Amino acid sequence: MLPATFKLCCGISHDHLRSITGLKRTAMAAIGHDLQGMMLKGSHCLPSKLPGYVQRLMWKDTAGTQEDGTGISSVWFSSTELSYVNQGEVTLHRAMEILQQQNGWQMETKQGNGDAVLSTVIPQLGKVFRIEVVLAVPMDQLYHELFESLERMPEWNPTLSQVKILQRIGKDTLLTHEIASQSPGNLVGQRDFVNIRRCWKKETAVYLVGTAAYSELIPLQEEQVRAEATLSCIVLQPLEENPMQTRFTWLLSMDLKGWIPKSVINYVLPQSQVDFIKHLRQHLSISAWP
């Protein structure tokens, strides 16, 4: 499909090329379709070298999110940036499909305060865990903590020793490197992650999606195992009855790599969600917000 799209774009008249709207949408649809096809076939769809003829078919989203959700402006993307942005879009669309799924969820764990983690199995993806809680802070504060102040997360989340933004692609896409803390009793050992993080705002909701990525900026480390977040999606929505409170929903699917029994994975991942919520609540309780 990509070669055909390129030929089509080359055949567009000069007048249409100056407006370039048709070119952007055609290229976006074609490349996004191919990436989605890769994911449906079971690939993690990590960014790779794209053909040279598509290296400049897309644009950086420096103008912010537009009505169509792409946030595209007139600054050119590189091929690697293009693959990162499209990977984030594909992950977002898949997460939204899972969020709409009402049936098939099973209880994994329930805390004394009522926090519960559910799970379901998604074809070509595996087990997906879901936690949903209400936090007594406005949505903007959570967005600031979880996206704008991402690198400060280890200050309040002891399960992380480092979060570093390697690259910003416009306003709403980040390439990050994260290192899990090495702590006594850690059942899976220390892991690091290279992720694409994408923020998308729709009406009153904010979607924060993440998925594993490849980057030459961070080669594999001998002393660490590189795990892959195959899908992460946090949805923030203000409560209708009280906008100063926020519904927090988090989908998580992860490949921890290494020889780890499924029983351990099925304990560690939902427990990590519960622990994250606990640390987040503690941090929010002592954080000042305008």
Q: Return d(Cα 279, Cα 96) in angstroms, integer.
A: 26
**Per-residue pLDDT tens over the stretch 133-163:** 999 999 999 999 999 999 999 999 999 999 9
Residue 259 banded pLDDT, cuts 50, 70, 90: confident
How far, CA to CA in Å, does 186 sit from each of 47, 156, 192, 239? Answer: 30, 19, 14, 36
How large a percentage of the chain has pLDDT more than 90?
57
DSSP string, 156-221: T-TTEEEEEEEEEETTTEEEEEEEE---TT-SS--EEEEEEEEEEEETTEEEEEEEE---TTSPPP
* The predicted structure's pLDDT at residue 185: 61
Q: Is the pLDDT of residue 39 over 50?
A: no
Mean pLDDT over 16-32 rounds to 44
**Per-residue pLDDT tens over the stretch 202-211:** 989 999 999 9
Mean pLDDT over 83-88 rounds to 92
* The predicted structure's pLDDT at residue 290: 73
Q: Return d(Cα 211, Cα 182) in angstroms, integer.
A: 22
Q: Return d(Cα 116, Cα 271) in angstroms, integer.
A: 10
Contact 195, 165 (CB under 8 A): no
Q: Is the pLDDT of residue 48 over 70?
A: no
* The predicted structure's pLDDT at residue 72: 42
Q: Return d(Cα 47, Cα 175) in angstroms, integer.
A: 11
**Cross-strand bridge partners of residue 61:** none
Of the two residues 233 and 222, the one the predictor is more confident about is 233
Q: Which of 25-29, 232-236, 266-270 has the lowest mean pLDDT?
A: 25-29
Contact 233, 207 (CB under 8 A): yes
Residue 229 banded pLDDT, cuts 50, 70, 90: very high
Q: Buried (b) or exposed (e) across 160-183, using 16+ Cβ within 10 A?
A: beebeeeeebbebbbbbbbbbeee
Element (H, E) at 140: helix 139-143
Q: What is the mean pLDDT of the chain?
A: 79
Domains defined along the chain, listed by start: 103-288 (3.30.530.20)
* The predicted structure's pLDDT at residue 75: 55
Q: Is the pLDDT of residue 33 over 70?
A: no
Q: Is the pLDDT of residue 281 over 80?
A: yes
Q: Which residues contact 137 (CB under 8 A, 6 or more apart)?
A: 244, 245, 246, 284, 289
Token pair 């290192």 in the structure block, residue: 179
Q: Return d(Cα 101, Cα 23) in angstroms, integer.
A: 34
**Per-residue pLDDT tens over the stretch 105-135:** 999 999 988 899 999 999 989 999 999 999 9
**Cross-strand bridge partners of residue 117:** 109, 131
Nearest Cα neighbor of 157 from 139, 133, 183 is 183
**Entry pTM:** 0.76
Q: Is the pLDDT of residue 241 over 50?
A: yes
